[in-house]
Amino acid sequence: MRKDSIIAGLVLLILSAPLVGRALRPRPAPLPKGTGVGEFRGSWKVLAPITRRNLSIYPVVSTLGADTSGFITLDEGVAAGTVKILERGQVEGAIYRRREPRRWPPQLEQVPDRGGASVNELVLVNDASRPLLLLAGEVVSGGKQNRIIGADLVVPPKSDPVPLAVFCVEHGRWSSGGGTFGSAQAIAHPGIRLQAQANKSQQGVWDSVSRAAEAVPAASPTQDYTAVLSGAAAQERVEKVARSIEADYERELRDQVGGRGAVGVVVAINGELVWSDVFPNADLFRKYWPKLLRSYVMEAESRGRGEVSPWGEKQMAAPSPRQAEDFLLEDRGRVSIKVEPDAYRRTEVASSKYQIVALEAIEKSEDAGLMLHYNKMARG
């Protein structure tokens, strides 16, 4: 009788082990209610722009706000050592998913798998106790070549190694090295992000990197986007404009809304509305603002009309704030939804004129969720 009890106890212990491990995995804080994309869209107001030559940036303010302190960014996770990104094949015995979702993104170009590593897929581990927020276009450097994140997503805390869709931004290097990737603390300019997010085109990404290198100009033996960003020409031309906007941004915001922080921006270049990045609160937006701003300046540089180097001395006429708000909110198109249970829902709205990508953190697939990033891009 005693022997049977011991055996039964051991069986129960073995069967319950996975449940114990799952219980020990930290759970994110409960998501606030009423903070989905629909609620936030109804709260946005677009203010008058700050214009430098062919670039106009319209602050977006909101009457809503949501706490996002329960999430970490890529820069924070890499700096703390809790987020690791590796070439595929460097994590022995990695369990890429506990479930088999449909593969994303579909690859329009066939890029060869080179000895285990892959141009368009890395492996990420989030060992932090908080979910990790990743934005499409964030640049990671190292490994066999530098890459950008391919899509907005949330990685749960204490995650298994997961596949990370990426695009190469260093066409001329495929080194024998490996090791972990670091954050380049930069985000690719909108032309590159459009090719990655909307067109899912590796060739389009490479072409956009080449155009940026020609516009700055910057030379890189390996056609490396990070070399373009850190080169002397970019530092002089992009940084000059970025610092000028940063100097006036807070002052003009105070004048317009009495110190209330912006939650995002709408961007116009050469008098055309082309882009928006909006977040659920001013604190999260501020974390991304320095590198987003520089990406917009780089986009303006790459789209320069060229009559006087770099963009022309004449300041471009900017659309009205009402036109910018209409651009931000128009949402007619074909809808597709990607759900990763207990992590995120990514809703995409595609039309011939623009693409919208809205990322929400969710606890269950049917939950309204918490909007983390709303990105609209014009197709040009």
Which 3-state string (H, E, C) describes 222-262? CCEHHHHHHCHHHHHHHHHHHHHHHHHHHHHHHHHHCCCCC
- Give the three-state DSSP class for 69: coil
- ∠ at Cα 265 (308, 267), nearest 5°? 30
The predicted pLDDT at position 199 comes to: 95
How much of the chain exceeds pLDDT 70, in percent?
A: 79
- pLDDT interval class at 10 (50, 70, 90): very low
Torsions phi, psi of 335, nearest 5?
-100, 135
The predicted pLDDT at position 33 comes to: 59
Higher pLDDT, 46 or 364: 46
**CA–CA separation, 316 and 333 (whole Å):** 30
| Residue with the two structure tokens 């129960």 | 12
**CA–CA separation, 56 and 59 (whole Å):** 10
**CA–CA separation, 131 and 155 (whole Å):** 6
What DSSP designation does 143 have? T
**Res 28 pLDDT > 60:** no
- pLDDT interval class at 236 (50, 70, 90): confident
**Res 251 pLDDT > 50:** yes
C-alpha torsion angle, residues 169, 174, 178, 184 (rounded to 10)? -20
Q: How do residues 269-318 score in pLDDT, each as one tens digit?
A: 999 999 999 999 999 999 999 999 999 999 998 887 544 444 444 566 89
Residues whose CB is less than 8 angstroms from the CB of residue 283 and which lie 6 or more positions away in sequence, other chains included: 68, 69, 261
Q: How do residues 360-380 score in pLDDT, each as one tens digit?
A: 999 876 667 899 999 999 997
Higher pLDDT, 353 or 20: 353
The predicted pLDDT at position 233 comes to: 86
